[in-house]
Amino acid sequence: MDANGFAELHRHGCFLLPNAWDAGSARMLVAAGFPAIATTSAGVAFSLGLPDHGYGGRVERDPMLQRVKEIVDAAAVPVSADLEDGYGESPEAVAETITMTIAVGAAGGGIEDFTGDSSQPLYQRELAIDRIRAAREAVDRSPKTFVLVGRTDGLLVGAPLDECIDRANAYLEAGADCAFVPGAADPDTISRLVAELNGPLNVVMGLSGNRLTLKELADLGVRRVTVGGSIVRALYEHLRRAARELHDQGTFTYADQQIPQSELNAIFSSR
């Protein structure tokens, strides 16, 4: 699948876009059969020993885009990049980030309105819209196909659903190809978003342990499903259990659940 095929996925049906954080995880997801993947900024941060954006630190733009490039090169399938808030408050900074993201080969990317500042967790509405508009203009200046996602973190910071719908629709009107409202995980909320948004909806599973299936999400009208940092968090839980077993018990049963070296070598040597 190329970038045009990736864009086409957003126009009908429902598809799952799992999130990688490095070249190895990207190769594993592609080996499982996914024709396109996304990145997770939280997963990239954790892999570098840093907290996620808004928790006392963040990965800066250059190392994040370097990791995106590594994932793009390793995956050889379309990749949508988690670009947090665009690495700058101004619309100009966001536009520059989009241009740089296209240059490293990504087929899409998302800009969120989360500031990382607990005293004002969301960018002011008009500024947030201008930031998406600037991102759209940057996309339109490129000859390459790029799916722009407008994300509002309103539900995650306690904003009412009405505000999230208003923001998401404003981002779609400003040029986003897809809206993303993390925190929407129950059927009633998702159904209302699908009904009231003027464009395709991305939801994220794995934040709340929700048990909705991909089929159920498709039946609700969701167009795209991501999993954020949930895969890497699950792997870190296995790492923590292994470390505790080694330190506290001196036993090695954690190794009963591992992929054989030969299988990993085969996955990482194939294209």
Per-residue pLDDT of the chain (271 residues), as tens digits, is: 999 999 999 999 999 999 999 999 999 999 999 999 999 999 999 999 999 987 777 899 999 999 999 999 999 999 999 999 999 999 999 999 999 999 999 999 999 999 999 899 999 999 999 999 999 999 999 999 999 999 999 999 999 999 999 999 999 999 999 999 999 999 999 999 999 999 999 999 997 667 899 999 999 999 999 999 999 999 999 999 999 999 999 999 999 999 999 999 999 997 6
pLDDT value at position 209? 62
Residue 175 in domain: yes
| CB of 135 closer than 8 Å to CB of 178 | no
Rounded Cα–Cα distance for residues 256 and 15 (Å) = 33
Residue 114 in domain: yes
Domain CATH code at residue 132: 3.20.20.60
Residue 246 in domain: no
Rounded Cα–Cα distance for residues 179 and 151 (Å) = 6
pLDDT value at position 57? 73
CA-only gyration radius of the chain, Å: 19
pLDDT value at position 270? 77
Domain count, the chain: 1
pLDDT value at position 208? 63
Residue with tokens 């997801």: 29
pLDDT value at position 161? 98
Residue 137 in domain: yes
| CB of 213 closer than 8 Å to CB of 235 | no
Residue 237 in domain: no
Burial level of 118, CB count in 10 A (0-12/13-18/19+)? exposed
pTM of structure? 0.95
Residue 260 in domain: no
Domain range spanning residue 86? 3-230
Residue 244 in domain: no
Residue 142 in domain: yes
How many C-beta neighbours within 10 Å does residue 52 have?
19
